[in-house]
Homo-oligomer: A and B are copies of this chain.
Amino acid sequence: MCELLGMSANVPTDICFSFSGFLHRGGGTGPHRDGWGIAFYEAGGYRDFRDPHPSVDSPIARLICDYPIKSHVVISHIRQANVGEVRLANTHPFTREMWGRPWCYAHNGQLSREWSNLPLSFYRPVGTTDSEHAFCWLMGELRRAFPDPPDDPEALWQYLHRLCEHLRTYGVFNLLLADGEHLYTYCSTKLAHITRRAPFGRASLSDAELAVNFAEHTTPDDVVSVIATEPLTDNENWVRMMPGELLVWRDGDIQGRYHT
């Protein structure tokens, strides 16, 4: 199994603290040695960093910790390969352009054998994973239903929930998806979240000897939510998502909630 990390914030925020704990699971405290990646949305632009090597040894991962990139939306993934060999083309997150927006996707779980029958249209996978195939199917279905961005975003969110429910029938499908403004999190088995806002306190990582006093790094209006496969800190109350639940995040807050 892999692990997921996401962030939604109302001000450009760096994810160094959470990422420091997260990347220790990539071959340090965790078994996820088969690559890692992280994607940032910044001022209307998108970039990702991906490496097929364990995050705990990766010079690129160290750079991400040392060079704080400030972002409204972040998606990260560390991989323990099940379907698809260990190589760059199989390393999450994956990205495709729709409506002139870069969409970004990471998946935790494993689909059953039938996933290769999910029919593809606009988008085709570059690698050989179940995850990327499901992403191409998902984006193709969204694009067929909404050739242009819908006036009513809730129609899109509802349809996305339906597609996620369909993918859950294929196996374990925990999802992080983003369009640059919204972060979509769908829980099939395991995802937890925490929202930090004033008054900010102190947090200490479960996976590394590191603590931070957020009060020293924030202003009273900041709202920052972090979503992860497993809680990253040991002194805060994380909320576990329900199986079948889709949350739509924007500016650190939940804008939409759909469930089975």
A residues lining the B interface (CB < 8 Å): 42-50, 52, 59-60, 63, 66-67, 87-91, 96-97, 99-102, 122-127
Contacts and interface: CB of A to CB of B under 8 A. Distances in A.
Given A45-B52, A59-B67, A97-B96, A102 B126 contact: yes
A125 B44 CA distance: 12
A44 B126 CA distance: 8
A97 B139 CA distance: 13
- Oligomer: number of copies: 2
A47 B45 contact: no
13 contacts: A42-B88, A43-B88, A44-B87, A44-B127, A45-B87, A46-B88, A46-B126, A49-B49, A60-B63, A60-B67, A96-B97, A97-B126, A100-B125
Contact of A45 (B49, B101, B123, B127): B127
Contacts of A59: 63, 66-67
A89 B126 contact: no
Contacts of A100: 124-126
Nearest to A40: B88
Contacts of A67: 59-60
Given A60-B67, A63-B63, A97-B96, A88 B124 contact: no
A58 to B, nearest CB: 9
A127 B46 CA distance: 10
A88 B52 contact: no
B97 A44 contact: no
B46 A89 contact: yes
Contacts of A125: 100
B126 A45 contact: yes
Given A96-B97, A97-B123, A126-B102, A47 B44 contact: no
Nearest to A44: B89
A89 B91 CA distance: 22
A102 B122 CA distance: 14
Given A63-B59, A63-B63, A97-B96, A87 B43 contact: yes
Nearest to A59: B67
Contact of A97 (B49, B66, B124): B124
Given A43-B87, A100-B124, 10 more contacts: A44-B87, A44-B89, A44-B126, A45-B87, A46-B89, A47-B50, A47-B88, A59-B63, A60-B63, A100-B125
